[in-house]
Structure 1
Amino acid sequence: MIHLNIFLTGGTGYIGSHILAELISKQHDIFVLVRSLDRFQHTLERLQLLEAQHVTAVIGDLSEPKLGLSANDYKRIQDSDIIIHAGGPMNIELSQTEAEQAFLNPAIELAELSEKIHKKKGLKQFIHVVGYMSPYNEQNANQNLDAVLEEAPPYEKLKFQADSYIRKALKPLGIPLSTVNPSTVIGHSYMGMTEQIGGLSILVDSVRRNLMPLVPGGKDYWLPMVHIDHVASFIVNLVQTKELASNTYYLLDPKQDSPSIRSLIRQIAIEMQVTPPFGTIPLPLLKSLLRLGIGKTLGIPKESMNFLVKSDFPVSSKLELERKQGVRTSVVPTTLPYVIADLDFRLSHPSTEHHEGFVQRRRSNLISLEKESHGTPVIFLHGTFSGADCFVPIAKQLNDVNTWLVDLPGFGHSPRHHHPSLMDGYVEAVIEMINELNRPVILIGHSLGGLIAAKVMERIEPQIKQLLLLQPVLHPIHGKYKYAGVTRSILKHISRSAFRKTLLKANDFIADSERLDHYSNYVIHDLQSARIRSTNAMVMSALTKAQSFQLKPELWNAQKVRIQWGDRDAAHHIPERFKHIDTTFIPYGHQYPLEAPHQAAEWLRQVLDLE
């Protein structure tokens, strides 16, 4: 393996942090330019890279002379073999001044640094992360194409002028320049996880708010895309490839292998459970309307339409390198629903905190928050109006337990399932996840999650070591939820105060508290998503039907099943045929695992069979 000294900018950003993780795995020595040590530390924690031995953070600022580095740090980074410039904000609404500071000033400083390194020891390669709309390449690097960029917003114009500047500065020096042009960067190629809101999320947000009744441009237009992990792995493969000539690499698929914008928007609409577009609108007309102020009113930046294109892009250099490396960077169609669901959740919960000690993973067709622990997986299944995040307080109190907090299909970060039977689809999704693990698990289910967990155990009983039910729904609920369309409409307009009153009136929460405020805020944010509104409404409708509760508790192994029940629950009870199951009663209501996580965790710790 080639061992290199690398100087990386943008290491705490979306693309840069993924490049950093890949580089660390290859044992390279890395200097990372950061403005804040705290943010850098947070990045390492999020990527689980705290044990990184070969990374040194240097404090500076891309827009400052000599990158804002101390004299000593500026001298240290001159030992670099490769510079990777991935810095710069993803903000298409930057002003001219902001864009100059973000893109052109850094290009000038990095070109000067490159010359110093090259004179001192020879710079092996400069890797510049730009963007697929840049008009520059090896053939026209010395031409002035400002006229082509005249109508471009400052974000694009200055970013591409920085591309031109670096090309012109490095070519006379003979420094190999690899210009990497990612298209719209979307979530991880398997998990779908996208830490940065922007790009595709603008489209997802417009569709989920029913603001896209007409397809921009029509079938001839498309949105080039690339997965974030593919961008990082491609750049790290560039680092490790010897004797590269200067080249430009477009990270996107050929147009014929990509969905048209019409197909993409239709898929988003299906996943969001909203009406698909019924026609098209010429892109120039749409841009004009957005410029007139409609875009600001609707929250759709006029600049966002610039990423929709008719043309194809040259991918031969990318494909050639991929053939040599034995890798591919194609968009994975089966992952797009996970990308869409993840963006949808993050749009509803923009201030969602990173849960320290938990990692988001995809397990079969479900997304889960997991602790890095050994031992039997303890899998939590949530109820309606809830998600994996809601059970973090319980899991934190079970700090030595291998807890997995699962988002059921259509909730949280998990896309909805497409099984013809709503309830069977939930059961099948959990079974598939457990079968993929191929080892015994402990299932814990709350409310709807308790019903699903019980059905799973009846299907694959030998694989369920224990079944622990927290306020499980075991009988049909009130008929007022029978019609999903009515419920969906009510959920769209319900206020936070009305929701709180409903919870207290039903004894779901027995007291006004900070936890009630936190949960109410979570649900109201959740219900901004048409996908999650529809999922809740359809599940509540299914729970009014007797056929959803076809269980055989008389056949259960009573030694492995326990119930904890809040006896102040005003809407639910334990049917007579479940009375033989060991049950612990506590003075709370239906949502007690969220109102009193310490009590739930204390009971779980007493009854969990982790041997």
Structure 2
Amino acid sequence: MSTDERHALVLGASGFIGRHVVLALGRAGVRVSTASRSRESYERLARWLEGRGHGSAPADLRVDYSRASLIEEECGDVTEIYNCAGAFRFGMQVEEARRANVDSVRAVVEFAARLPSLRRLVQVSGYRVSGTESGAWSEERRRETYRTLGPYEASRVEADAVFRDLAERLGVPWSIVNPASVIGDSATGESDQYLGLASNVKDLWEGALPALPGNGRTFVPVIAADHLARFMTLLPTEPATEGTAYWLLDDDTPALPDLLTLVAEHYGVKAPRARIPASLLKRLPRRLTKADPETLTFLSTDRYPTGSAHAFAVRHGLTMPDTATTVRRWADHLAAHRFGGAPASDRRFITPGGIRTFELGESGAPTVVLPGLPVNADTWAPVVAAIGHARAVDLPGLGMSSGSRDDWPTWSTALVTETGARHLVGHSIGAAAAVEAATAHPQAVERLTLVSPFFLQARPPRAVQWTPLTRLLLSRTTPTALAERLTSATDHAPALRSAVSDLRRGTVAATTARLLAAAANARWREDLRAKLRSHPGPVHVVVGSRDPLAADGQALLDALPHATVTVIDGAGHHPQLTHPEEVALAMGGVLRGQA
């Protein structure tokens, strides 16, 4: 069957696997129709596809799994269906799980049986559920299976049995893919699935994983989302794949404790030394494990029949991406997007000077914001978006970046000479980093914007110079308390949630406390002033009226031939929180939604 003859219908197209299937089909030149529950779901899919270079948007069909017709639009020329629909969610009630995962499968098979041109129905099942049962279930078997496995996994087992039985009886040509834990795209790490293994990764990142689950034989295999999608789209091209199930996973996936240790090493955090056997985890109460009991059934030493999938991939020249590399990229994507808490796409980790650095905004943009204390790059996101062609990075050891104050020279050199930073915007302590970088690379740094530059302002109070107390307070603060401390109001607490999260992770609070104390050091302050005097390019200083320049700081700027000062009325030391519009305007941008 040539590409021109193929017309694919993708069900569940707006889901994680479904949209990768649509993308893979489009790249292969296959005509695609997608069936979504709502126009809003389709529009989200279309935007996602457009952002990844997909050509024309697929046809938009509406699906209702409770309706006998399933889809009202004409589908007579559909040659292949990819059923990626269903609910991947723990904690469901039995009837909810059966509606989402069993009844929907029954409706899809019956719909497929009515299509005159159908050559293949490709069903997504699961590596631990497929082929374990067949035929109709008795009520007793159903009750026992749902009691033993839990609603999610039991519904997938039942759905697999229903699919096989009904497809055979109705004469529907089928193939089944049984993917392992589907992680991110092999090239970008992109994923919006935060259940299962991703929750363990989150605990590692936050330092909340007390012990590594399982032992050296605990096997929780993974597969890259784009590899799975490409494999699926090839199945209808080969007649021999009809009536066959394929287990798709990497047999060489490290044992679970080793896999999590790999992620910990990549994150630069300590992996727990202790290990807790799966058998013990399953007996402990949920209040101790903090894990949904349904997830624990995946902690197994079982292996799976992958031979047919390997052979098929070889015949089609499909090479499985390196799993360790994919896992690292996936872990990066999860952390950069705060495990679902920050879904915007323009977030990533970079490694200037070998320092793992969080960055948001336009990659490679010439304007780079260096945030102050005790906040992070996230607090600058609205201003960065408004400025345009800009990005913000967390300084070494702060926010979500690794490293320490000692890494500043190497890091800033790479930021300027390798990533194209030409306009440095330094806020508070970031102003020090900006001035030091500009002094080291005067020909490369064309502009300096200093927002609330501490070394041109009054010295901080003595209280912040006691590092142990500051560290303790920062590590225990709340968004509300921090907002009140920084802005004298609680309105900006939501914007500070990520900063508080960062302060509770690893050594961030300690690094912040040391830098706050250093800001009072007279020698460093004078050294920064001397470097600013020698800067040959334009300097723009932005301060709040409630956090003014010191008299000698103003005098220094008055003596500089290319210095300008903007005072934002009513703002304090953190104008990006309280007056983002004015900060953006001062830097030549306008906030989205503002005139």
TM-score w.r.t. structure 2 length? Answer: 0.80
Q: Does 1:595 align with 2:578?
A: yes
The one-letter amino acid paired with 2:63 is G
User: Of 94, 97, 106, which residue of structure 2 is paired with 1:96?
Assistant: 94
**Structure 1 residue 555, shift from structure 2 partner:** 7.9
Of stretches 181-190 and 238-247 in structure 1, the one that deviates more from structure 2 is: 238-247
Q: Distance in 2 between matches of 1:28 and 1:548?
A: 63
Q: Distance in 1 between matches of 2:349 and 2:227?
A: 17
Kept in 1: contact 2:368–2:421 (CA 8 A)? no
**Structure 1 residue 244, shift from structure 2 partner:** 4.0
Equivalent position of 2:17 in the other structure: 15
Q: Distance in 2 between matches of 1:212 and 1:396?
A: 35
The one-letter amino acid paired with 2:563 is D
Equivalent position of 2:119 in the other structure: 124
The one-letter amino acid paired with 2:278 is L
Equivalent position of 2:33 in the other structure: 31
Q: Distance in 2 between matches of 1:93 and 1:183?
A: 20
Equivalent residues in 2 for 1:105-116 (5 A)?
105-116=103-114
Equivalent position of 1:535 in the other structure: 508
Q: Deviations over 1:220-260 (max 9, x none)?
A: 22432233333334434546667644443333322xx3333
The one-letter amino acid paired with 1:113 is F
**Structure 1 residue 105, shift from structure 2 partner:** 1.0
Q: Does 1:517 align with 2:498?
A: no
Equivalent position of 1:450 in the other structure: 431
Equivalent position of 2:391 in the other structure: 404
User: Of 110, 118, 131, which residue of structure 2 is paired with 1:136?
Assistant: 131
Q: Distance in 1 between matches of 2:189 and 2:308?
A: 26
Equivalent position of 2:383 in the other structure: 394
SS of the aligned residue for 1:517 comes to: coil
Equivalent position of 2:3 in the other structure: 2
Kept in 2: contact 1:382–1:446 (CA 8 A)? yes
Equivalent position of 1:65 in the other structure: 68
**Structure 1 residue 159, shift from structure 2 partner:** 1.0
SS of the aligned residue for 2:588 comes to: helix
SS of the aligned residue for 1:309 comes to: coil
Kept in 2: contact 1:273–1:534 (CA 8 A)? no
Kept in 1: contact 2:119–2:236 (CA 8 A)? no
**Structure 1 residue 86, shift from structure 2 partner:** 0.8
**Structure 1 residue 268, shift from structure 2 partner:** 5.5
**Structure 1 residue 22, shift from structure 2 partner:** 3.4
The one-letter amino acid paired with 1:450 is A
Q: Deviations over 1:156-206 (max 9, x none)?
A: 112122223223333567755332222223334344443232122322344
**Structure 1 residue 328, shift from structure 2 partner:** 3.6
SS of the aligned residue for 1:134 comes to: coil
User: Of 193, 197, 203, which residue of structure 2 is paired with 1:196?
Assistant: 193
User: Of 278, 285, 303, which residue of structure 1 is paired with 2:294?
Assistant: 303
Q: Deviations over 1:565-592 (max 9, x none)?
A: 3353379995987763614141432211
User: Of 305, 312, 334, which residue of structure 1 is paired with 2:303?
Assistant: 312
**Structure 1 residue 59, shift from structure 2 partner:** 1.9
Change in Cα spacing, 1:556 to 1:339, as seen in structure 2 (3 Å) is farther
Q: Percent identity?
A: 22
Q: Deviations over 1:408-436 (max 9, x none)?
A: 56666x5x43x5xx135456456546655
Change in Cα spacing, 1:243 to 1:477, as seen in structure 2 (3 Å) is farther
Kept in 2: contact 1:132–1:182 (CA 8 A)? yes
Equivalent residues in 2 for 1:7-406 (5 A)?
7-48=9-50, 53-67=56-70, 69-70=71-72, 73=73, 76-117=74-115, 120-121=116-117, 123-136=118-131, 151-171=148-168, 177-207=174-204, 212-238=209-235, 244-254=241-251, 257-266=252-261, 276-290=271-285, 293-294=286-287, 299-330=290-321, 332-334=323-325, 336=327, 339-340=330-331, 342-344=333-335, 350=341, 352=342, 359-361=346-348, 363=350, 366-370=357-361, 377-398=366-387, 401-406=388-393
Q: Does 1:468 align with 2:449?
A: yes
Q: Distance in 1 between matches of 2:318 and 2:396?
A: 31
Q: Distance in 1 between matches of 2:235 and 2:392?
A: 37
Q: Distance in 2 between matches of 1:126 and 1:226?
A: 22
Equivalent position of 1:508 in the other structure: none
Kept in 2: contact 1:84–1:127 (CA 8 A)? yes
**Structure 1 residue 93, shift from structure 2 partner:** 1.7
Ranges in structure 1 where 5+ consecutive residues have no aligned partner: 506-511
Q: Distance in 2 between matches of 1:224 and 1:590?
A: 49
TM-score w.r.t. structure 1 length? Answer: 0.78
The one-letter amino acid paired with 1:517 is D
The one-letter amino acid paired with 2:160 is D
Equivalent position of 1:423 in the other structure: 405
**Structure 1 residue 127, shift from structure 2 partner:** 1.9
Q: Distance in 2 between matches of 1:559 and 1:396?
A: 25
Of stretches 581-590 and 33-42 in structure 1, the one that deviates more from structure 2 is: 581-590
Q: Distance in 1 between matches of 2:248 and 2:209?
A: 27
The one-letter amino acid paired with 2:565 is T
Kept in 1: contact 2:215–2:276 (CA 8 A)? yes
Q: Distance in 2 between matches of 1:548 and 1:152?
A: 62
Kept in 2: contact 1:179–1:248 (CA 8 A)? yes
Q: Deviations over 1:32-57 (max 9, x none)?
A: 22112123213333453598534122
Equivalent position of 2:593 in the other structure: none
Q: Deviations over 1:252-300 (max 9, x none)?
A: 322xx3333323444556677876434333322221223xx526xx642
Kept in 1: contact 2:386–2:589 (CA 8 A)? no
SS of the aligned residue for 1:30 comes to: strand
Change in Cα spacing, 1:85 to 1:394, as seen in structure 2 (3 Å) is same
Kept in 2: contact 1:349–1:525 (CA 8 A)? no
Change in Cα spacing, 1:526 to 1:273, as seen in structure 2 (3 Å) is farther
The one-letter amino acid paired with 1:61 is D
The one-letter amino acid paired with 1:404 is R
Q: Deviations over 1:427-485 (max 9, x none)?
A: 64565466555x57433332343333344444454443433232245589667556776
Kept in 1: contact 2:487–2:572 (CA 8 A)? no
Of stretches 99-108 and 231-240 in structure 1, the one that deviates more from structure 2 is: 231-240
Q: Deviations over 1:293-340 (max 9, x none)?
A: 526xx6421112222221233333333344344444445535645544
Q: Does 1:604 align with 2:592?
A: no
Ranges in structure 2 where 5+ consecutive residues have no aligned partner: 591-595
SS of the aligned residue for 2:491 comes to: helix
Kept in 2: contact 1:186–1:194 (CA 8 A)? yes
Kept in 1: contact 2:136–2:162 (CA 8 A)? no
